[in-house]
């Protein structure tokens, strides 16, 4: 009976511990302490000390983002560990977050039990589904303040600048992406300025917002943006070839037209088509004409098809 009583006492103590949901609901700006489980951590290539390093934390009641501004505490913030935060700060707007400041202590805690549903939801906080991908050619006609994602090749970048944004000095760098025959400018703000980007690289930029300046519609990074370098094979897209032209100036290739937006045309080597249809190269034109229209997967670089397949 004594052991059972002791067990109930321990459980009762845990029940009296402050809960994350209560702290967020009651707008405690300076809770004395909270015990949580670290469910996820921001990608290392996106995290910077100046903008804080993001974590997803949870307990038995809910989950939320946690931002750490004191990097000396980083060794204690290991994925899957249960920690107690003493003297953290709660930020309510524009979203609810727990802040780890210099005054905050991070210590090990007893195991924090988190229901599966809350743990899964916590993992989506730092890796939300990206905004819909659109073609770069559609950006000029997109509604302003719309969240979009794009893919393209870096064809230019400007020297970083420091500008005044919301009353604070902020770093920004403009890069230009190209896809097919269209280009767009993307303003990389704050930590993205320090991310190395090279001309010729293929980038996937998610969760940007459409903006306008001097009649130019461009994209700006947001707090949800990710910038990822892609291999050319990751630019594969499904399309339907609807026609072709024989080139007088290049007898080793055709120009094929697809049913994509604005009906773009690409160069493709006869050798590639012969391999695609398993025919001799001299039969490529006849075979192409017999099979149009056909659907295939392609990757494109500088308006030239680099890979083509049926799977």
Can you give the CATH number for the domain in which 156 is found? 2.40.50.140
Q: Which range marks the domain in which residue 157 is found?
A: 136-230
Asked whether residue 119 is assigned to any structural domain, the reply reads: yes
Contact 217, 140 (CB under 8 A): yes
Name the residue among 77, 83, 98 with its Cα closest to residue 30.
98
Asked whether residue 131 is assigned to any structural domain, the reply reads: no
Q: Are residues 293 and 257 in the same domain?
A: yes
Distances in Å between the alpha carbon of 8 and those of 17, 36, 75, 262?
14, 21, 34, 70
Report pLDDT for 5.
45
Give the HSE-up count for residue 229: Cα atoms under 13 Å, Cβ half-sphere: 11
Q: Are residues 221 and 109 in the same domain?
A: no
CATH number at residue 261: 2.40.50
DSSP assignment of 88-114 equals -EEE-SSS-EEEE-TT-EEEE-SPPP-
Q: Are residues 174 and 270 in the same domain?
A: no
Q: Cα(257)–Cα(115) distance, rounded to whole angstroms? A: 53
Name the CA dihedral angle for 219, 222, 224, 228, rounded to a multiple of 10 degrees: 50
Name the residue among 131, 120, 98 with its Cα closest to residue 224.
131
The count of domains in the chain is 3
For residue range 105-159, list pLDDT tens digits in order: 999 999 999 999 999 999 888 877 889 999 898 999 999 999 999 998 899 999 9
Q: Are residues 203 and 272 in the same domain?
A: no
Domain end position, chosen among 204, 230, 256: 230
Q: Are residues 116 and 15 in the same domain?
A: yes
Q: Cα(93)–Cα(168) distance, rounded to whole angstroms? A: 18
Q: Are residues 226 and 239 in the same domain?
A: no
- Mean pLDDT for each consecutive 10-residue tract of the chain (311 residues)? 45 65 76 90 64 91 93 92 93 85 94 94 85 91 94 92 85 91 91 88 93 94 88 77 91 91 87 94 94 92 87 76
Using CA of residue 176, residue 179, residue 181, residue 184, what is the dihedral sign? negative
Domain end position, chosen among 213, 230, 247: 230
Asked whether residue 130 is assigned to any structural domain, the reply reads: no
Q: Are residues 247 and 177 in the same domain?
A: no
Domain end position, chosen among 230, 259, 286: 230
Q: Are residues 298 and 221 in the same domain?
A: no
Report pLDDT for 49.
57
Q: Are residues 20 and 108 in the same domain?
A: yes
């Amino acid at each position: 009976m004594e052991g059972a009583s002791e067990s109930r006492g321990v459980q009762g103590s845990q029940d009296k511990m402050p809960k994350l949901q209560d702290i967020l609901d009651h707008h405690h700006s300076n809770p004395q302490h909270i015990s949580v489980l670290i469910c996820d951590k921001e990608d290392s290539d996106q995290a910077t000390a100046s903008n804080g390093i993001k974590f997803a934390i949870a307990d038995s009641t809910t989950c939320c983002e946690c931002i750490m501004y004191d990097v000396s505490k980083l060794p204690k913030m290991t994925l899957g560990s249960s920690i107690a935060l003493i003297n953290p700060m709660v930020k309510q707007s524009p979203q609810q977050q727990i802040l780890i400041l210099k005054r905050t202590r991070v210590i090990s805690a007893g195991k924090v039990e988190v229901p599966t549903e809350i743990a899964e939801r916590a993992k989506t906080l730092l890796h939300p589904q990206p905004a819909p991908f659109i073609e770069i050619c559609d950006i000029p006609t997109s509604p302003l303040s719309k969240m979009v994602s794009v893919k393209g090749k870096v064809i230019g970048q400007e020297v970083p600048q420091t500008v005044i944004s919301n009353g604070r000095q902020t770093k920004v760098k403009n890069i230009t992406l190209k896809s097919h025959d269209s280009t767009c400018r993307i303003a990389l703000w704050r930590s993205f300025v320090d991310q190395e980007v090279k001309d010729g690289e293929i980038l996937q930029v998610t969760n940007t917002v459409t903006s306008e300046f001097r009649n130019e519609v461009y994209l700006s990074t947001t707090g949800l943006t990710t910038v990822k370098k892609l291999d050319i094979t990751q630019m594969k897209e499904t399309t339907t070839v609807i026609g072709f032209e024989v080139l007088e100036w290049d007898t080793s290739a055709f120009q094929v037209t697809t049913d994509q937006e604005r009906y773009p045309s690409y160069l493709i080597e006869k050798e590639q088509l012969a391999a695609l249809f398993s025919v001799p190269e001299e039969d490529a034109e006849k075979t192409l004409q017999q099979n149009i229209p056909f659907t295939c997967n392609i990757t494109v670089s500088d308006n030239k098809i680099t890979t083509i397949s049926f799977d």
